[in-house]
């Protein structure tokens, strides 16, 4: 079946460090891929998305490239800030109805 695997957290970084959060997926065909972010005490917000192979989603300095050959959608940011501290969820949508989420990765950024 369809599934998403994320690296376990927490990921702890100093401000201005480079961030990578790994995400791989299993799905038939060509799913759409998403990164959602959840700030403390809030619901999930869409961070970025990619709907076909080799697409790059980007937003707020974050990027992720849809790699069909490695079934991956890793999240990267060149220089993290304290305000980026949150939980990040990778997700896929294969059919028209549902999203399938990974378990989430907590990012903690210290000044």
- Site residues, another protein (CB under 8 A): 32, 34, 36, 42-46, 49, 51, 89, 93, 96-99, 101-104
Helices H / strands E in the chain, number of each: 0, 12
Give me the half-sphere count of Cα atoms (radius 13 Å) on the Cβ side of residue 57: 21
Give the nearest distance from C-beta 21 to another protein in angstroms: 14
| Closer residue to another protein in complex, CB, 13/44 | 44
User: What distance in Å separates the CA atoms of residue 66 and residue 34, rounded to the nearest whole number?
Assistant: 10
User: What distance in Å separates the CA atoms of residue 63 and residue 11, rounded to the nearest whole number?
Assistant: 17
Give the nearest distance from C-beta 36 to another protein in angstroms: 8
Give the nearest distance from C-beta 96 to another protein in angstroms: 7
| Closer residue to another protein in complex, CB, 12/51 | 51
| Closer residue to another protein in complex, CB, 24/32 | 32
Q: Which residue has the tokens 């950024």?
A: 109
């Amino acid at each position: 079946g369809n599934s998403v695997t994320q690296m376990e957290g927490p990921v702890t970084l100093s401000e201005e460090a480079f961030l990578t959060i790994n995400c791989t997926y299993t799905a038939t065909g060509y799913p759409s891929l998403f990164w959602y972010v959840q700030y403390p005490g809030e619901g999930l917000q869409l961070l970025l998305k990619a709907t076909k192979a080799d697409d790059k989603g980007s937003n707020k300095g974050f990027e992720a490239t849809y790699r069909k050959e490695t079934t991956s959608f890793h999240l990267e940011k060149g220089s993290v800030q304290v305000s980026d501290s949150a939980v990040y969820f990778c997700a896929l949508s294969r059919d028209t109805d549902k999203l399938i989420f990974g378990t989430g990765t907590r990012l903690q950024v210290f000044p």
